[in-house]
Amino acid sequence: MNNFQSIVSHFKIEGKIQEISPLGSGLINDTYRIRMRDADAPGYVLQRINHDVFQNVEMLQANIEAVTTHIRKKLIEQGADDLDRKVLSLIRTETGKSYWNDGQDYWRIMLFIPRAKTYETVNPEYSYYAGRAFGNFQAMLADIPETIGETIPNFHNMRFRLEQLNDAVSKDVANRVKEVKYYLSEIGNRAEDMCKGEQLHQEGLLPKRVCHCDTKVNNILFDEKGQVLCVIDLDTVMPNYIFSDFGDFLRSAANTGAEDDENLDNVNFNMEIFGSFTKGYLEAARGFLLPVEIENLSYAAILFPYMQCVRFLTDFINGDIYYKIKYPEHNLVRVKAQFKLLQSAERHIPEMKKIINLYL
Ligand code: GN1
Ligand code: MG
């Protein structure tokens, strides 16, 4: 707490602090809630930015400032109320910056959004609201004047992720390749098909747009009625194919099990969630989507379990250096669960296509 106190003291926060305690279940940054002595004050969120992952903190924070300022402006134009619950508010330091470096770690503070809920899974109704929210998010950011940088270069570039996997396999630093031969061959069989996005982009057929790029369910704040208040975790907002936001939400929300479920019988791709999310997303986004983007939404739905499987497998082979793990085999358990989800999603592709056409 003392150490936290001194970090927090560099930011312009109001009131006296009561307590600072861990918040959320993110796999990258460390997040804490700051409660105030005045129980009615919303308080703040303190985060230690993972500097290994986000190497350019200056760019990271500039992106988030640009995005939140732009969304706030759009919400005001739309006549929205309750703005502090609908867009993140960054707290500045004494010198006017939106982060603080204590000599080793980078820290930032945001206003805590009160009376908001996060979920690890959602029902079809909430998925519909989430679909609309991500469609609107992309629509609002379509005319952002600032250039949004790639905070993690090639973040959702499938070809690059496969290269990283190949690299990990050839180094085999943790001597784990022998354990994962089956998954490597299943991944290899699909590799060319899964790089379709990069292929289309290279041919000049598929645009990049400013996307959220980490739309897993627990990055959305819902209000008491299930309406989406706000999309959080803006670190990865960057230009990419719209497939990122569509696919990563479904990877988390349409999974009937957990991302790291040890019981693979729990893991299946839920088509009801797919249907309601797609309906909401297309209502908000069909006005600006190109035919090539719409035609490939079913590809997006399988791409993300696949990409996540590749990323978890790479980390497992590298000896668990990227994702937080809770036990030694955790990344391998995640690989298995994502692969099961992929197989289930693949079986539903024809049905997905029908549903997409229904909501056009
Ligand atoms: C990470 O930070 P968090 O936990 O919301 C990761 C995502 C993965 C996700 C898997 C910067 O998200 O890309 O999809 O874990 N974020 C980064 O749960 O790598
Ligand atoms: Mg998160």
Is residue 116 in a domain? no
Mean pLDDT in residue range 125-153:
94
CB of residue 315 inside a 6 A radius of ligand 1: no
What whole-number distance in Å separates Cα of residue 28 and Cα of residue 323?
Answer: 6
Q: Is 41 exposed, middle or buried (0-12, 13-18, 19+ CB in 10 A)?
A: middle
pLDDT digits (tens, 9 = 90+) for 50-75: 999 999 999 999 999 999 999 999 99
Mean pLDDT in residue range 245-255:
96
Identify whether residues 165 and 192 lie together within a single domain.
yes
What pLDDT is attached to residue 343?
Answer: 98
Is residue 117 in a domain? no
Identify whether residues 204 and 131 lie together within a single domain.
yes
- Which pLDDT band holds residue 2 (cuts at 50, 70, 90)? low
Mean pLDDT in residue range 195-218:
96
Question: Which residue blocks in the chain are alpha helix, DSSP H?
Answer: 2-8, 57-77, 83-86, 124-141, 158-171, 181-194, 196-202, 243-253, 271-285, 291-295, 297-317, 330-347, 349-358
Structural Rg of the chain based on CA atoms: 20
Q: Does the pLDDT of residue 1 top 60, yes or no? A: no
Nearest to 217 by CA among 252, 247, 246, 244: 252
What whole-number distance in Å separates Cα of residue 256 and Cα of residue 95?
Answer: 47
- Tell which of 47, 80, 111 closes a domain: 111
Mean pLDDT in residue range 286-296:
96
Sign, Cα dihedral of 129, 133, 135, 140: positive
CB of residue 28 inside a 6 A radius of ligand 1: yes
Report how far apart, in Å, the C-alpha atoms of 286 and of each of 135, 166, 204 are.
Answer: 9, 37, 21
Identify whether residues 227 and 333 lie together within a single domain.
yes
Mean pLDDT in residue range 8-13:
96
Indicate the top mutation candidate among 27, 231, 313 to test ligand 1's pocket, ranked by most ligand atoms within 8 A of CB: 27
Identify whether residues 107 and 204 lie together within a single domain.
no
Specify the pTM: 0.94
What pLDDT is attached to residue 225?
Answer: 86
- Which pLDDT band holds residue 213 (cuts at 50, 70, 90)? very high
Domain containing 76 equals 2-111
What whole-number distance in Å separates Cα of residue 319 and Cα of residue 334?
Answer: 14
Mean pLDDT in residue range 80-106:
96
- Which pLDDT band holds residue 346 (cuts at 50, 70, 90)? very high
What whole-number distance in Å separates Cα of residue 161 and Cα of residue 30?
Answer: 24
Q: How far is the CA of 240 from the centre of ligand 1 (A)?
A: 16
Identify whether residues 96 and 131 lie together within a single domain.
no
What pLDDT is attached to residue 158?
Answer: 98
Is residue 119 in a domain? no
Q: What percent of the chain has pLDDT over 90?
A: 94
Q: Does the pLDDT of residue 201 top 90, yes or no? A: yes
Q: Is 147:67 a contact under the CB 8 Å cutoff?
A: no
- Tell which of 76, 111, 146 closes a domain: 111
Sign, Cα dihedral of 248, 310, 235, 30: positive
Tokens 């690059």 -> residue: 160
What pLDDT is attached to residue 170?
Answer: 98
Identify whether residues 177 and 286 lie together within a single domain.
yes
Nearest CA to ligand 1 atom 9: 27
Question: b/e map of 45-78 (b: 16 or more CB within 10 Å)?
Answer: bbbbbbeebbeebeebbbbbebbbebbbebbeee
Is residue 50 in a domain? yes
Nearest CA to ligand 1 atom 13: 214
